[in-house]
Amino acid sequence: MAAKKDEFLTYKGRPLVRNGNTLYYGNMFDPYVIMLTIKSTKKDGDMEMADKVTIQLISTDPDISPAKAIIKTSEKTGLYNAMDIGSIWLERALKDAE
């Protein structure tokens, strides 16, 4: 069944949106989101899998410069590892922002 046009794929209850090799995880109305950038891929049989992924915790405050909006950054091997650390960072940041 196809998703409605205004619905997003979710991961752990938060929106996950992909644009090319960049994924955004979290709600843009929250104070923070995670940006994942796939830097390289590798072949696994017929599938192409994410290899090196950069994770960034980003503030959604429109009043700060893009360079200052980056709170944390790291690089992981594999999309699962990147999503795992990104979800932890986002949960902690949103909890601290309350």
Domain ranges of the chain: 9-97
Of the CA atoms within 13 Å of residue 78, those in its CB half-sphere come to 5
Q: Would you state the pLDDT for residue 4?
A: 58
- Measured in residues, the chain has a length of 98
- Give alpha helix (H) positions in 3-78: 66-69
Q: Would you state the pLDDT for residue 53?
A: 97
Q: Would you state the pLDDT for residue 1?
A: 44
Note down pLDDT in tens along the chain; length 98 residues. Answer: 455 556 778 889 899 999 999 999 999 999 999 999 999 999 988 999 999 999 999 999 999 998 999 999 999 999 999 999 999 999 999 999 88
pTM: 0.86
- Give alpha helix (H) positions in 16-69: 66-69
Q: Would you state the pLDDT for residue 2?
A: 52
